[in-house]
Amino acid sequence: MCIIEDFYPKSLRIKWKKDDREVRGRDWKTTENDSGSYRAVSVLEANLASSSPGTKYTCEVTHGGKKYSDNLSSRVQSSLKINPPPAKELFINQRAVLECVLTGDSRKEVEGATVSWTAGGRSPATGDVRVGGVTQAGSAFTKTSTLTLEESVWFSGAEVICSTSRTSERISVKRGGQRPSIVIYKPDKTVSDSDSVSLVCEVSSSDLANVYIMWKVNGGQYIEGNSMTTIKNDNTLIVLSYLTVTGQQYNSAEITCAVKDANIQNDLQPRTSSPSKTNSPPTIRLVEFGQSIMCIIEDFYPKSLRIKWKKDDREVRGRDWKTTENDSGSYRAVSVLEANLASSSPGTKYTCEVTHGGRTYSDNLSSRGNLVLLR
């Protein structure tokens, strides 16, 4: 609507333009005010919201030999969003990597927009900021600026601001109190190697800060869990991270849940917990058992191991019994070799050789005629 007021004399001409092209509007009746001046209204059917970004609509009025005009332009729709740092960079590189994503419906506007950062009121070094090119998804255009900070700056609670000439967004870590407690829930029954095992790492505190959780399997690279959930329980905030592993990994590997959080102690070291018993080598003892020799292997972890029997230097076949788990979480295995020490040739040596965790352990018995020598 173009409202033209307080003009005299009455005669005037109204013209509408869409950008530089003349379009037809609809003029309402010119009315006279009490003061003797006049008022006119003209209407153009147009929807600014659905028009192409930057489209300009002009109402041009000719009165008394002079031209007067005013215009409206459809606004470029844009948004700015800061993505918080992923846990992986914090654990592996001790860096907080934040993304500021500018999205708009005009490629020209998005491409020409300058994205700037401050952290704790200071502009970052040029090398800490990286700006990507413009990408398109449907009718939306996107440009991403990435800021890399030392993890100590991020965990200090410094406010990070991402800005363009039109708008700005702010983000900062939520700081808590003392470091949270960590509990890992594991299966309460024996797991076979063919099973799939779900582990839950529970991080809880009455004053919980932002927490970042990663997992390790057998001391390898940090990996993310399958999913994460936050629960408010009375006055306690709980964060749960879920990890699914194979039964073989669970039985043979040391699995660790590691947590970083913004705490009052400014402690940046990961706090860890493991559902697994610490690696423990086996103890081996040989026992003569009737017409057999029994190899008893105890107190080892993880479960996986390999047993080999030798008669002197020649490998012979024994019979392995089922490996069982102790109350302490360590394991016990038994292997039996059919052999009669009493009737064996003097000096015959029987060896039980166990490979566990990449190392080999052994014990042996030798016959001496009618005597048995235990070594």
- As given in the structure block, the two tokens for residue 314 are 């020649």
Give the lowest-confidence range in 125-134, 235-244, 272-281, 286-295: 272-281
Tell me how far apart the alpha carbons of residues 143 and 161 are, in angstroms, rounded to a whole number: 17
What residue spans of the chain are helical by DSSP H? 87-92, 107-112, 151-155, 247-252
Count of C-beta atoms within a 10 Å radius of residue 68:
13
- Whether the per-residue pLDDT at 371 is higher than 50: the answer is no
145 or 343, greater pLDDT? 145
- List the chain domain ranges: 2-73, 78-171, 181-273, 283-374
Fold of 78-171: Immunoglobulin-like (2.60.40)
Superfamily of domain 283-374: Immunoglobulins (2.60.40.10)
For the domain 2-73, what is the CATH code? 2.60.40.10
Inform me whether the pLDDT recorded for 22 exceeds 70. Answer: yes
pLDDT bracket for residue 322 (50, 70, 90):
confident
Question: Of 99-108, 249-258, 269-278, 325-334, which gets the smallest average pLDDT?
Answer: 269-278
- pLDDT-derived band of residue 75, with 50, 70 and 90 as boundaries? low
Looking at the predicted structure, is the pLDDT value of residue 7 above 90? yes
Asked if pLDDT for residue 343 goes beyond 90, the answer is: no
Task: Tell me whether the CATH fold assigned to 78-171 matches the one assigned to 283-374.
Answer: yes
User: Distances from the Cα of 97 to the Cαs of 84, 93, 110, 145, 164, in angstroms?
Assistant: 8, 10, 22, 10, 19
Q: What is the DSSP letter of 252?
A: H
Rounded to 5°, angle at Cα 120 from 117 and 126: 40
Q: Could you tell me if 348 and 311 are in contact, meaning their C-beta atoms sit under 8 angstroms apart?
A: yes
- Tokens 């590691």 appear where? 258
Rounded to two decimals, the pTM is 0.58
For residue 187, how far is the Cα from the chain centroid?
Answer: 25
* Residue 247 in this model has a pLDDT that exceeds 50: yes
**Which phi and psi (to 5°) does residue 168 adopt?**
-150, 155
- Say which CATH architecture domain 181-273 belongs to: Sandwich (2.60)
Calculate mean pLDDT across residues 232-247.
Answer: 87
Flag whether pLDDT at 95 surpasses 50: yes
Q: How many CB atoms lie within 10 A of CB 278?
A: 10
Q: Is 314 helix (H, G, I), strand (E, B) or coil?
A: strand
154-211 confidence digits (pLDDT tens): 999 999 999 998 889 999 998 888 888 888 888 767 788 899 999 999 898 888 888 9
The answer to whether residues 320 and 303 touch, using CB atoms and an 8 Å cutoff, is no
